[in-house]
Structure 1
């Protein structure tokens, strides 16, 4: 699942780069498609750091998520596994994109939030899914179910 989602993210990034070159923007109501690039991590943190540092840190985090997901696979619930796959997909998608030129391609723009991409959506929704699933499981165990 993670590889399919990561591939989808990379395809969307390529399509955005091809079709949104220059100052072109597509208005979709609440969301606009507008090409941007991020040399840092989330919210452009670390943008001033050398590319190799950002690549190294994001690589270590991605490997850590992959190892955790692999070790959890045998015992985790389906919602947790799906959430971990989404987080891993987003991390792999952004890492693969950054590996080429040190930049992550962003194309989803709201005007009130930093421009982001599908990988960022996967990471966010995956983390929320894991957190909610773990909380639900913890509450069920406390009630004796």
Structure 2
């Protein structure tokens, strides 16, 4: 049975980019839709929902209100630079789905900020600055990437389990070659010897 060919570097890069894009694009769409809904439905009054309230707010800072007093062009430039770095680093991040969450969230906030210099926030837990869906995607993706780096990988263990297979196949191949060359004893010779001894004793 023919083995599956090893993936080429170009093919692996294409699959990684596809996985990142397939994650980042839904984050972009969902964030834009929820922000548009919040600007319309939460403009008059917030919605009390228990541990998570829906409260409209606008952030002129970088993230979670940080740098709110900085000039708008500076915040936009810093945000754009951060997203550019994320786009480059995302190609090396594992898993690609987590990288897509981080990149999608960064792009969503950048596009929102490009309009009027602010980012729409509407999720409030009371003890944390108001945030949005893009912020949640960034935090979730970053936590996933961090866990991926801290937790031990199962690949070496799988490789160890597959390690003995080549030696076993080599042993079987060597045994077959010895049988063909006649180096191994013939099991039938022992039976013939026993029969000869019996005949001799009977005589």
Alignment TM class, shorter chain as reference: 0.7 to 0.9
Is 1:140 aligned to residue 161 of structure 2? no
**Number of residues of Structure 1 aligned to a counterpart in Structure 2:** 135
Report the TM-score when normalising by structure 1.
Answer: 0.87
Unaligned 5+ segments in structure 2 are 1-22, 158-203
Q: Answer 1 or 2: higher relative contact order, Cα 8 Å, separation at least 6.
A: 1
Provide the residue aligned with 1:11 in structure 2: 33
Q: Distance in 2 between matches of 1:85 and 1:135?
A: 19
Which structure is higher in strand share?
Answer: 1
Structure with greater Cα Rg: 2
Cα separation, 1, equivalents of 2:128 and 2:66:
14
Q: Distance in 2 between the 1:113 and 1:61 partners?
A: 23
Q: Give structure 1 stretches of 5+ with no counterpart.
A: none
Deviation at 1:111, TM superposition (A): 1.4
Q: Does 1:122 align with 2:144?
A: no
Give the aligned CA root-mean-square deviation in angstroms: 1.6
Structure 2 equivalent of residue 57 of structure 1: 78
Q: What TM-score, normalized by structure 2, do the two folds share?
A: 0.63
- After the TM superposition, list the runs of 4 or more consecutive aligned residues in structure 1 that deviate by more than 2 angstroms: none
1:11 Cα offset (Å)? 0.8
